[in-house]
Amino acid sequence: MSEIKEKLQLSKGIVLGSIILFIFMIFTYGCMHQSHTAAASNEQSKVKSVYIRVKPGMDAEKIANLLRDRNVIDNVYMFRIMAKVEGLDNNLKTGDYQLQTNMTYKEILEVLVSGKTATMSIMIPEGYNVEQIAKTLQDKGIVSAKDFEKAATDFAPYDYITKAHDVKYRVDGFLFPDTYEIAGDFTAMDILTLMAKEFDHKLTPEMRSRAIAMNLSIRDLVILASLVEKEAQVEEDRPIIAQVFMNRLREKMPLQSCATIQYILGNPKAELSIQDTQIKSPYNTYLNMGLPPGPIANPGLASIKAVLYSEPTEYLYFVADKHGKHHFSKTYQEHLQTIDRVE
């Protein structure tokens, strides 16, 4: 009889404990849902998109820790309770996901069980160089800047990306600036391949034929286009600036492009000094004749076309006013007068 009583008491204890645990989980669930939703509402102005990768073998705990580390959730324990209550803790799928920092835990779980792979839109502006692209990709959490720069050093998927002395990144200039959809599992090499392929696609047979007719290699075309890209601030100035550079090459005059000095400096200055133009570098077009060793940026299509279809002119000089509009001159004397007028 005593054994029966003990078993009944044990059973009652188990049931009572289960009820208490269940009530605790429901209470925790409710508090968690309410607090997270309220926090999300208060942080609307700080909402950010976060891309995460759930790798094979990651359980609910590891995923929760990842979410906390990326500032998507603030409480690993509550997230795991939510997953348990919803019966989803064993259904979280591997993949790449885009989450918002104001999502509720339930919304996050719904995304993670969907298995729908996300891509990230990355906009690479015209005129960026390899190091600027690398920083953009790192800031977005795609690849590290170090990995991208290392991969770019000797990357040359097309014959016209020839090797040259004093060029840090062989592919610089041949990565087409555009908006790309990047999957979370893309490597640095995948992104370089994608951008170089897009450049090759944009360079049509007609444009290649035009370059040949102008006695320009693809490399020289891109170098000139990169100078135009960094000098021009107003669209209609591009083909005139391109012609000025080609006129100076024809006349065996140094290009004297301020953009090449800014490239050497690394950090652009509002105004260059005479001392800046005397820096010893193969990229200094004040001290060296001809084109620099390589492109100083990745030019957009408009700058490439500006070189191929430049504006016929005899101008040899230009200067920009405070609005970014360029003023052109045929002689040095005219150029000095123009400088006095616009400054």
Contact 294, 165 (CB under 8 A): no
Could you give the CA distance from residue 95 to residue 97 in angstroms, rounded to a whole number? 6
Amino acid at position 317, single letter:
Y
From the options 3.30.390, 3.30.1490, 3.40.50, 1.20.120, give the CATH code of 120-201: 3.30.1490
Domain ranges of the chain: 42-117, 120-201, 204-342
Among 112-116, 327-331, 338-342, where is mean pLDDT lowest?
A: 112-116
- The closest of 214, 118, 134, 165 to 225, measured between CA atoms, is 214
Prediction pTM value: 0.73
Of 5-9, 72-76, 103-107, 151-155, the one with minimum mean pLDDT is: 5-9
- More confidently predicted of 184 and 128: 128
Helix axes 2-42 and 105-114, enclosed angle (nearest 10): 90
Question: Of the ranges 11-20, 76-85, 152-161, which is most confident?
Answer: 152-161
φ/ψ bin of 299: left (φ > 0), alpha (ψ from -120 to 50), beta (otherwise):
beta
Query: CA separation (Å) from 214 to 116, 154, 220, 222, 291?
Result: 50, 28, 11, 13, 16
Q: What digits encode the pLDDT tens for the residues 178-191?
A: 999 988 778 999 99
β-pairing, 119-123 vs 95-100, is unpaired
- How large is the average pLDDT for residues 124-133? 98
Question: Residue-wise over 39-51: b if at least 16 C-beta within 10 A, else e?
Answer: ebeeeeeeeeeeb
The residue that leads in pLDDT, 323 or 132, is 132
Residue type, 5: K
Residue 65 CB: number of other CB atoms within 10 A?
15
256 or 34, which is more confident? 256
Check whether 42 has a pLDDT greater than 50: no
Mean residue pLDDT of the chain comes to: 88
Q: Which of 50, 45, 67 lies closest to 58, judged by CA?
A: 67
The neighbouring-strand residues paired with 182 are 120
Fold match, 42-117 / 120-201: yes
- What's residue 38's pLDDT? 35
User: 238 with 303: CB under 8 angstroms?
Assistant: yes
- CATH class of the domain defined by 42-117: alpha beta
Contacts of residue 253, defined as CB under 8 A and 6 or more positions apart, other chains included, come to 316
Decide if pLDDT at 129 tops 50. Answer: yes
What does the block give as tokens for 147? 């990995």
Could you count the other beta carbons within 10 Å of the beta carbon of residue 190?
A: 15
Residues 229 and 257: their CA atoms lie apart, in Å, by: 12
Alpha helical stretches, state H, the chain: 2-42, 60-69, 76-85, 105-114, 130-139, 145-152, 188-202, 205-213, 218-231, 238-250, 258-265, 301-308, 332-342
Predicted confidence at residue 156, as pLDDT, reads 96
| Beta-sheet pairing, 317-320 with 49-54 | unpaired
Residue 1 predicted with pLDDT over 70: no
- Is the model's pLDDT at 206 over the cut of 90? yes
- Separation of alpha carbons 148 and 168, rounded Å: 13
If pLDDT is split at 50, 70 and 90, which confidence band does 168 have? very high
Interval 153-166 mean pLDDT? 93
pLDDT computed for residue 17 by the predictor: 56
